[in-house]
Structure 1
Amino acid sequence: MKTVIALAATLMLAGCASNGVEASRTADCARPGADQELALNMAEDMANEGRLYASLANLERLPDDLVQVRLRKARVLRLMGRNEAEPLYKSLLGTCLAADGEHGLGQLAAAKNDNAAATQYLEHAAKMAPTEGKIRNDLGVVYLNQRRISEARFEFMTAMELQQSDTLAAFNMVTLLIYQDNWKQAAELANMAKLSPQQVADAQARAEKIRGSATQAATSPANRLTEVVDASTGAVK
C-alpha cells in the first residue's frame, strides 16, 4: 500500500503560503466604484497568474482608503516576500476585513516558522470567520507543524467540507494520515480527491519532514539529558 501511495499524489503543505485569493467579506465595507471594482478584479487575475509586479502596479492606481485595495496589496507583497505586507494586514484589524488581516498576519508568521504567533492570529481569524475554509486549512497546517494531530485533523476536515471544490485541505489531510502511518485511509482520500502521483509523493515527503523534526527535537542535548535523569528514576526505559 505504501508503494501505491508513493506513486499516487501530492501535497504541497502550502496552506499557509496559499496563492488562493483571501475571501473578502464586504457586507459592511464601502463598496468600490465600478471602475475600481474592474481594476481590483484585473489585479487579482494578474496575481493568480503569477504576474505579481503587474498586479501591484494596477493596485497602486487605486486609493488606499479602500480596505479591499489594502487587502490585495498585502497579499501581493506577501507573495513577493516584501516587509510592507505586515503593516497593510495590520491596517485591516478593526475593519470589516479584520479576519483577513488576522489571516494574513498568521500566514506571515507561519512563513517565519513562528508557530506560536501564527496560531494566535489564525485562531482569532477562525473565530471571526468560522466558515472560511482557507483560514481553517491554514490553522490546520500550523497545528500539524506543531504535531497537534487531533486539532489539525479537525481543521482539515472542516475545511474539506466547507470548500469541497478546493483540494488543498485534502492534500494536507493526506499528509497527516501518512504521518500517522495510516496508509489505507491516505490512499482512499487521495483517490477520492483525485490527487496526482506527484501530490501524494509530496505529501509523503512532507510527512517525513515533520516526523524528522520531531525525532530531531527528541534527541536534542537538552532532551537527552532529561531522558538520562528520568531513566535514573525508572520513568523512561
Structure 2
Amino acid sequence: MKAAIAVAATLMLAGCSSHGVVASDPTHCAKPSADQELALNMADDMANEGRLYASLANLERLPEDLVQVRLRKARVLRLMGRSEAEPLYRSLLGTCLAADGEHGLGQLAAVKNDNASATEHLERAAKMAPTEGKIRNDLGVVYLNQKRIPQARFEFMTAMELQQSDALAALNMVTLLIYQDNWKQAAELASMAKLNPQQIADAQARAERIRGSAPNAATSQANRLEEVVDASSGAVK
C-alpha cells in the first residue's frame, strides 16, 4: 500500500506498479526457459520491494534478446529516472509486448507533462490490451490532467471493474469527484475502497492542482474533506 500511495503522490499512475506482461501478439516472442523465468520473477520481487539496483543487476545476467528481459529493464530504469528506459520500451513495439512498450512510453511522456504524447501512446496501448486495468487507469490520469472529465471517468470506471483489488483507480476517481465538487460520491467511494485519510488528502491536493486553485483559500473544501475522511475512517484498518 505504501508503494501505491507513493505512486499516487506523483502522477497517480498505476504503471509504476506491476510487471504484468500484456501479450498483443504471442507469436513474435520466444518463451523464457524455466531458469530464466525464475530469474525474471526474482527481479520482479526485488523491484516491487524497492530494490531497484539489485533487480537491475539480476536482469543483467539474462539475454537482452528476450523481450521479457527488456520490459523489466525498462521498468526498473524508468523508476530510477534513467533515460535508457525509452529505447528499451521502443524496442518492444512490434513484438508480443507492444502494448507494454506503448504503456511505458506513455508513462515516460506523462512524467514530462507531455500529455499529448502520453495520450497517443496510452490510447494505442489500450486498443492493444483493452482489459489491462493499469493501462486504462493511466490513460484516465492523462485525460484528467487535460480536464477531459467524461473520458477520464470512463477509464477509471473501467479500471476499477477490471482490477477490483487495486485501489489506485478508485483513488483517482475520488480525485475526479472532488475536482467536480461531488463530495458525497467521493465519500462513498473512499469508504468502499477503504482509502485512508492521507490518500484522501492527496486526492484533494491533486484535484486542487488540476483545478488551479490555492489550497489555503479553500476553507469550505477543507471542511468537506473532513467529511470524506470521517466517512471512510471506519473502513480503514
Q: How does 1:212-223 map to 2 (within 5 A)?
A: 212=212
More deviation in 112-121 or 28-37? 28-37
Aligned residues: 206
* Aligned partner (choices 22, 25, 43) of residue 25 of structure 1: 22
1:146 aligned residue: 146
CA contact (8 A) 1:74 1:84 kept: yes
Q: Partner amino acid for 1:51?
A: R
CA contact (8 A) 1:170 1:189 kept: yes
Q: Does 1:119 align with 2:119?
A: yes
2:100 aligned residue: 100
Q: Partner amino acid for 1:12?
A: A
C-alpha distance 131-13 of structure 1, shift in aligned 2 (>3 A): farther
Determine which structure has more spread, i.e. the larger CA radius of gyration: 1
Q: Percent identity?
A: 81
1:221 aligned residue: none
1:45 aligned residue: 45
Structure 2 stretches of 5 or more lacking a match?
214-237
Give, in whole Å, the separation in 1 of the partners of 2:152 and 2:90: 26
What is the Cα deviation at residue 25 of structure 1? 2.9
Structure 1 stretches of 5 or more lacking a match?
1-8, 214-237
> 1:136-188 CA deviation, whole Å, 9 max, x = no partner?
00000000000000000000000000000001000000000000000000000
CA contact (8 A) 1:143 1:152 kept: yes
Give, in whole Å, the separation in 2 of the partners of 1:17 and 1:129: 15
Q: Partner amino acid for 2:46?
A: M
1:170 aligned residue: 170
Say what the alpha-carbon RMSD is for the aligned residues: 1.8
Q: Which has the higher contact order (CA 8 A, sep 6+)?
A: 1
What is the Cα deviation at residue 13 of structure 1? 5.9
What is the Cα deviation at residue 57 of structure 1? 0.3
CA contact (8 A) 2:12 2:168 kept: yes
Give, in whole Å, the separation in 1 of the partners of 2:9 and 2:192: 17
Give, in whole Å, the separation in 1 of the partners of 2:19 and 2:153: 22
Give, in whole Å, the separation in 2 of the partners of 1:186 and 1:137: 17
2:35 aligned residue: 35
C-alpha distance 86-65 of structure 1, shift in aligned 2 (>3 A): same
1:66 aligned residue: 66
1:131 aligned residue: 131
